[in-house]
Structures are given as C-alpha cells and as structure tokens.
C-alpha cells in the first residue's frame, strides 16, 4: 500500500464526516447515523495528508449471483475529496489502487456514477453494465385489487428479494446491507413492506416525496404495479408512484444508469439498493 493510502480507523470518523459534508448535501445527523451503523461492516479507503484523510471511497461487500454461483464484488460508494484539494489526483490514485486490489484478489468493483461522471470512470476501465427504467402510475380504480400490507424486517425482505431475483444475474447483498437500506428508508420517512394479493406475496421499499411515492425497489412487474397502484397510493398517502425497474422488465420509459463495473465477474447484472 502506498504511504498516503490506508484504510480508515474509527478515530478518522470526524474527518470522514467533514469530507462527506463538503461533497454531498446530506444532513450531519444522517452522516453520523451512517457511520454509527455501518463503519464496522465496511472498509473505507482514504488518501491522507499529514496522516489526515482528505479523500475517501467506501467499499461494501456484495456478490453477483444468478442462482448457480456467487461471484464476489465490492460496491464503491460515497466517493469524495475535500473541495480545496481536488484536481490533484488523490481520488484517481485511490481508485487505481482499489482496481489493483480487485485484480490481484479476483473480485469485481461496481458503482452507480453521479450524473456527468460516466466518462471519468470509463477512463479508469469501468464499463456500463445495466440500466433502470422509470415506471410511473397514478391511481387506477378500474384495475384495483384486494391487497393486504405488512411491515417486514430486513431479513424477511432479503429472503423475498433473493427468491425473486435469483433467476437472472443480480446483486446479492448480505442482511447487514439490507438492514441499513431499511433503516435509511425509515430515516427518510419511508416504509419497507410486503404486499399480498392473488395468493402471492411481493415486496416494496419506498419513500413518499411530497405527493409522489419513490419506489427504490420492488419485485412487482409493471402490470402488477398498475393493478395495485390505487391500494399502494392510498397506503402511503400520495397521488402517484414512481418506481425504478430493471430495464428487462419495462420496454419503454426514461432510463437511468444502474451500474458501472470493473473486472466484471458477470454482465447485465440487476444492480439495486446501491444507496443513491
């Protein structure tokens, strides 16, 4: 490891909070909650000056799975450098080091790029892997179904998620990551629920944003979402819903890059719960 690169220690958290606040619009309460719940389960690679972190990338364990095999990968999240020290190559050095480790130890790296950063990551060898399409629906009284709702735990959610997505390549997360996603969603005013209708149980994680329900993930198809839209809208107290669905599930609508990948163990992998 280069002299200026190391993994963060717990005593670095105040510096990490400062970097985060300078790069992202999240409130400090959220940032401290993130580190309190996640610091011990993730690795944070930092570039230091005089021993103090000035640039950081967060690495989270996951796997690319398809029902037959699990290939190890690490999700790169919350990439940032103190603004006054940007354009000096610190972040690039961190990412290149992370890539060298991935090649050496035989795992992949993936990330969701911030808008406008796709070209930057492509120069480092990351390639686009998959996309979301955005599905929207208002209330649909004529196609309503009798739906029962229940709050579910992270472990229940992850079990349903694995059953739903394992027929195709997808990102498989440990329960600890799902637990954070559920807690983060609750922090933002959302709920993680199961929906039972027609004798089957489905799942949804969503957050109301004024009069729109932002659905981060669900196993419901576009047709099923339409059929339960009135019930879901009433449950969350909104007027319409907007869902991120894998590109293969929806044939039309705006698209958003789901993930860029380096040293890909599998391709066209459904990548979600990436901590937007």
5-130+257-262 is a CATH 3.40.630.30 domain:
yes
Residue-wise pLDDT tens digits, 204-216: 999 999 999 999 9
pLDDT digits (tens, 9 = 90+) for 130-160: 899 999 999 876 666 789 999 999 999 999 9
Whether 132-256 and 5-130+257-262 are alike in CATH topology: the answer is: yes
pLDDT the model gives residue 1: 67
- The predicted model scores a pTM of 0.93
> What are the tens digits of pLDDT across the range 14-46?
999 999 999 999 999 999 999 999 999 999 999
Report d(CA 258, CA 32) in Å as an integer.
26
| Domain boundaries, given as residue ranges, for the chain | 5-130+257-262, 132-256
CA 218 to the chain's CA centroid: 13
Asked if 208 and 191 touch (Cβ cutoff 8 Å), the reply is no
91-33-209-190 Cα dihedral, nearest 10 degrees: 130
- Secondary structure element (H or E) that encloses residue 21, with its range: helix 13-23
What pLDDT sits at residue 14? 97
CA dist 25 and 258 (Å) reads 21
Q: What is the CATH number of domain 132-256?
A: 3.40.630.30
């Amino acid at each position: 490891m280069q002299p200026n690169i190391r993994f963060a220690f717990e005593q670095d958290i105040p510096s990490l909070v400062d970097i985060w606040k300078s790069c992202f619009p999240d409130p400090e309460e959220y940032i401290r909650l993130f580190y309190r719940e996640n610091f011990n389960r993730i690795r944070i690679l930092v570039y230091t000056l005089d021993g103090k972190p000035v640039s950081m990338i967060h690495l989270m364990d996951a796997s690319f799975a398809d029902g037959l095999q699990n290939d190890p990968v690490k999700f790169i999240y919350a990439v940032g450098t103190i603004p006054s020290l940007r354009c000096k190559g610190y972040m690039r050095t961190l990412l290149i080091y992370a890539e060298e480790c991935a090649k050496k130890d035989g795992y992949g790296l993936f990330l969701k790029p911030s808008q406008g950063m796709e070209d930057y990551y492509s120069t480092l060898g990351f390639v686009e892997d998959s996309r979301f399409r955005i599905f929207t629906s208002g209330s649909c009284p004529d196609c309503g179904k009798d739906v029962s709702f229940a709050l579910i735990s992270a472990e229940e959610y992850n079990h349903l998620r694995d059953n739903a997505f394992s027929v195709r390549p997808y990102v498989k997360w440990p329960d600890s990551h799902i637990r954070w996603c559920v807690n983060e969603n609750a922090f933002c005013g959302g709920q993680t629920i199961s929906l039972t209708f027609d004798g089957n149980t489905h799942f949804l994680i969503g957050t109301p944003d004024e009069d729109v329900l932002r659905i981060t993930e669900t196993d419901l198809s576009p047709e099923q979402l339409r059929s339960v839209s009135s019930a879901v809208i009433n449950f969350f107290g909104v007027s319409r819903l907007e869902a991120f669905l894998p590109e293969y599930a929806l044939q039309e609508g705006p698209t958003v890059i789901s993930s860029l990948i380096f040293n890909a163990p599998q391709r066209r992998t459904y990548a979600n719960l990436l901590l937007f």
